């Protein structure tokens, strides 16, 4: 240094910044797992609270429709009330066939929700299994599963469903189960893809290598380390797909290739309300609104979950 300026040797007073033990463990907080952390973030979000309340309400309606209406939906249909306005005890009015709309909306919840839940369940079983195997083991297994998935992925839902439901077996056995089968058959590749991507991201993590060098088998490390860490996108997708599958059921029922007319569902009711759209639009409005609210609440829940489970927003 050439300047004639001479720097002083400055030392801060020691009591100003007392030394802490190097790298001590914080013991003042309760232990916090990633799930607990996500829950803490979730429970304060209005989006989450509203969607969960709605979903709880829907589940209660589906399980105990009797709590909400004493009117049996099909028995007391009386043509003298056809397209009638709301009356006492029948707040939504009557259908073209003279049935109580409120009762039908309440009782239709069961079919819609059960199709959604069952479809998601089987999509999870098939999609997660195949996706995890493909992502973890790679190679020819990955190639076969990926191409198989692409075949189904390329089929639009309605077109695919039209073709499949024309098969004799499906034609003769129309029920909740056939609709679930159609949806699962066409929707599993999406789940498999997401799982495959998530698994591939985790499988090369150091903690997986560490587990393998401890002597954990390949299957063991997939089940115990890779999958639990790949769960976040799977949970988000499953929640959103529940909503999507309920719409799919309604679409298929509306087109007449979904649930049989004997099963009460919002899709069937929307289809049945079509002729009286101009004279009595309310009949269409009620099942359609119920459908929208249901789908919306599942999609909102999925959104809230995605924000909470996003690894980027986690503290290290």
Does 88 engage in binding with other proteins (CB under 8 A)?
no
Place of tokens 């899709």: 267
Token readout for 195 is 């799982």
Element (H, E) at 60: helix 46-63
Number of residues that bind other proteins (CB under 8 A): 47
How long a stretch of residues is the chain? 316
Q: Binding other proteins by CB under 8 A: which of 21, 88, 151, 154? A: 21
Q: Where are the alpha helices (DSSP H) in 138-226?
A: 139-153, 157-165, 168-172, 176-203, 206-214, 218-221
**Burial of 2 by CB count in 10 Å (0-12 exposed, 13-18 middle, 19+ buried)?**
exposed
Does 214 bind other proteins (CB under 8 A)? Our answer is yes
The answer to whether 258 touches 98, Cβ cutoff 8 Å, is no
User: What is the rounded distance in angstroms from the CA atom of residue 112 to the CA atom of residue 110?
Assistant: 6
Report if residue 31 touches other proteins, rule: CB under 8 A.
yes
Closest separation between CB of residue 313 and other proteins, Å? 11
Tokens encoding 240: 């959103």
Decide if residue 315 touches other proteins (CB under 8 A).
Answer: yes
Q: Which is nearer to other proteins, 27 or 262 (CB)?
A: 27
For other proteins, give the closer residue by CB, 218 or 306.
Answer: 218
Out of 228, 261, 275, 281, point to the residue binding other proteins (CB under 8 A). 228
Residue of 95, 104, 225, 249 that binds other proteins (CB under 8 A): 225
**With binding defined as CB under 8 A, does residue 44 bind other proteins?**
no
Please report how close the Cβ of residue 201 comes to other proteins at its closest, in angstroms. Answer: 12
Find the shortest distance in angstroms from Cβ 18 to other proteins: 9
CB atoms under 10 Å from CB of 262, counted, come to: 9
Q: Distance between CA atoms of 240 and 55, rounded to whole angstroms? A: 13
Q: Measuring CA to CA, how many Å separate 28 from each of 25, 32, 88? A: 9, 12, 60
Six token digits for residue 183? 């949806």
User: Measured from the CB of residue 205, what is the shortest distance to other proteins in angstroms?
Assistant: 6
The contacts of residue 296 (CB under 8 Å, 6+ apart) are 51, 243
Considering only residues 147 to 166 of the shown chain, the ones binding other proteins according to CB under 8 A are none
Query: Smallest gap, in angstroms, from Cβ of residue 200 to other proteins?
Result: 16
Q: Which of 45, 126, 212, 249 binds other proteins (CB under 8 A)?
A: 212
Judged by CB under 8 A, which of 4, 80, 262, 279 binds other proteins? 4
Residue (171 or 314) nearer to other proteins, CB:
314
User: Is 139 one of the binding residues for other proteins (CB under 8 A)?
Assistant: no
Burial (Cβ within 10 Å: 0-12, 13-18, ≥19) of residue 267: buried
Nearer to other proteins, 26 or 312 (CB): 26
Q: Which residues of the chain form contacts with other proteins (CB under 8 A)? A: 1-5, 7-12, 14, 16-17, 19-27, 29, 31-34, 37, 205-207, 209-216, 220, 225, 228-229, 314-316
């Amino acid at each position: 240094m050439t300047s004639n300026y001479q720097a002083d040797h400055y030392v801060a007073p020691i009591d100003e910044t007392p030394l802490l033990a190097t790298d001590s463990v914080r013991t003042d907080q309760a232990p916090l797992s990633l799930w607990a952390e996500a829950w803490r973030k979730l429970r304060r979000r209005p989006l989450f609270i509203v969607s969960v309340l709605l979903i709880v309400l829907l589940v209660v309606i589906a399980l105990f429709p009797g709590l909400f209406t004493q009117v049996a939906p099909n028995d007391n249909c009386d043509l003298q009330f056809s397209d009638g306005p709301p009356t006492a005890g029948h707040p939504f009015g009557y259908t073209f066939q003279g049935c109580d709309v409120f009762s039908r909306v309440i009782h239709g919840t069961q079919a819609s929700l059960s199709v959604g839940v069952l479809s998601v369940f089987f999509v999870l079983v098939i999609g997660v299994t195949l996706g995890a195997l493909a992502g973890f083991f790679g190679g020819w297994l990955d190639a076969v599963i990926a191409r198989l998935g692409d075949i189904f992925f390329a089929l639009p839902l309605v077109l695919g469903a039209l073709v499949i439901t024309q098969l004799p077996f499906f034609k003769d056995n129309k029920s909740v189960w056939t609709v679930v089968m159609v949806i699962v058959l066409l929707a599993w590749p999406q789940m498999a893809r997401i799982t495959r991507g998530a698994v591939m991201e985790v499988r090369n993590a150091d903690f997986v290598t560490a587990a393998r060098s401890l002597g954990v088998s390949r299957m063991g490390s997939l089940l115990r380390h890779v999958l639990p860490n790949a769960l976040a996108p799977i949970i988000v997708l499953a929640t959103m797909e529940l909503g999507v599958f309920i719409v799919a059921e309604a679409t298929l029922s509306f087109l007449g290739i979904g649930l049989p007319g004997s099963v009460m569902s919002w899709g069937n009711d929307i289809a049945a309300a079509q002729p009286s759209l101009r004279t009595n639009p309310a009949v269409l409005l009620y099942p359609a609104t119920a459908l929208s609210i249901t789908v919306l609440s599942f999609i909102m829940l999925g959104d809230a979950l995605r924000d909470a489970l996003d690894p980027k927003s986690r503290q290290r």
